[in-house]
Amino acid sequence: MTRALVLYPIDDIATSASAYVADRIANMLEDKGFEVFRFDLWKANRLLFTLQQLLNPADFIVYAGHGTLDKWFGSLTAGGIIWPLVDLLNSGMLQNKLCYAVACRTSQKLGKGAPARAYMGWKVDVYVALPAVERNYLEDLTTTFLTIPVALAEGKTVHEASQAYLAKCAELKALYEANLEQWPNGDFYAMAVKNNMEGFELLGDPYARIT
């Protein structure tokens, strides 16, 4: 059985939204028969991550939370200053893994420096969303982020999964732009989806799969 590790701290409003995304990813992977380890809230820390990878290493690693150029912050790290979940010093734990990081800017250094087989992440700040009166933008953007793990769980390559994500973003952006008069927040979220689409990056083996 393929193992997946889903890590998602909750520190603020932004990580509440990213945690919702990660929880949906974990549920979907379980429904498709994966063995899923969930490290949420305070459990998304460096010590537990290291122990898990040593004892029950995962094939597919998902992180959703705060990040920066060279690290995933994780939980209880004072903004990534104290013992971050993953940085360049312990990035060897990602060796030969498929990694998907819904986090700001991590593909710039961590994604390039980690020995992952494939790394899917962003070179820009990532926008998440909140529901509004006129539309549930949280659900819309969650659907875009789910596109990649769904495609991978169905046996597609990381390249195919990435293309599916970009197509979903383009579709959603067009939907918002076509309804600006009815949806007062549509212009902001069209910009947000465009940012996420243009800032996404796939590094490593484009033919890698998790099944």
Residue-averaged pLDDT of the chain: 95
* pLDDT digits 0-9 by tens, 75-127: 866 555 678 999 999 999 999 999 999 999 999 999 999 999 999 999 999 99
Integer Cα distance of 192 and 211 in angstroms = 32
* pLDDT digits 0-9 by tens, 144-191: 999 999 999 999 999 999 999 999 999 999 999 999 999 999 999 999
**Count of residues for the chain?**
211
What domains can be seen in the chain, in order of their start residue? 3-204 (3.40.50.1460)
Rg (CA), the chain: 16
**Reduced 3-state DSSP string for 142-210:** HHHHHHHHHHHHCCCCHHHHHHHHHHHHHHHHHHHHCCCCCCCCHHHHHHHHHHHHHHEEEEECCCCCC
pTM for the predicted model, two decimal places: 0.95
- Coil, strand, or helix at residue 112? helix
